[in-house]
C-alpha cells in the first residue's frame, strides 16, 4: 500500500492534507482506498491536469471512488518513473 507523506496533498476537503492543485509542476497518484495506487503521472500544470484528466474520470466511473493525491516537484518525470517502477500501478504500462 502506498504511504502518503505530509508533502502529498489532495483536493478532497475531507482529507487532512487538503489543498487545491497548483499551476506548478509535480507528480500525482490516483488511489483507490482498498486497492492502493492505480495510476501515477506527472504534469507541468497540476491544476490543469486534475481538471482535465480522462483517466481520473474513467477510474472514478469504474471504481465508484478514487482519490487524487499530488506533490509539487521540479524533477517530475524522474520522480514519476521512480514511483511507477516502485509501485507498479495497475493502469501504468511503463513499469513492464
What pLDDT shows up at residue 74?
A: 92
Across the range 1-28, mean pLDDT stands at 87
Can you tell me the distance from the alpha carbon of 9 to that of 15, in angstroms, rounded to the nearest whole number?
9
Angle at 64 between CA 63 and CA 68, to 5 degrees: 80
Please name which of 39, 41, 17, 38 lies closest in space to residue 27, comparing C-alpha atoms.
41
Q: What percent of the chain has pLDDT over 90?
A: 82
What pTM value is reported for the model?
0.90
SS (H, E, C) 55-68: HHHHHHHHHCCCEE
The answer to whether residue 1 scores a pLDDT higher than 60 is no
pLDDT in tens, 41-68: 999 999 999 999 999 999 999 999 999 9
Strands (DSSP E) contained in 1-96 are 26-32, 36-43, 67-72
Domains of the chain plus CATH, in order, are 1-96 (3.40.1440.10)
Amino acid at each position: 500500500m502506498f504511504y502518503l507523506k505530509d508533502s502529498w496533498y489532495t483536493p478532497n476537503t475531507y482529507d487532512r492534507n487538503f489543498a487545491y492543485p497548483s499551476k506548478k509542476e509535480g507528480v500525482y497518484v490516483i488511489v483507490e482506498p482498498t486497492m492502493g495506487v492505480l495510476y501515477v503521472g506527472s504534469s507541468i500544470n497540476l491544476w490543469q491536469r486534475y481538471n482535465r484528466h480522462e483517466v481520473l474520470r474513467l477510474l472514478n466511473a469504474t471504481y465508484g471512488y478514487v482519490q487524487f493525491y499530488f506533490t509539487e516537484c521540479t524533477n517530475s518525470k524522474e520522480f514519476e518513473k521512480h514511483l511507477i517502477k516502485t509501485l507498479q500501478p495497475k493502469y501504468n504500462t511503463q513499469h513492464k
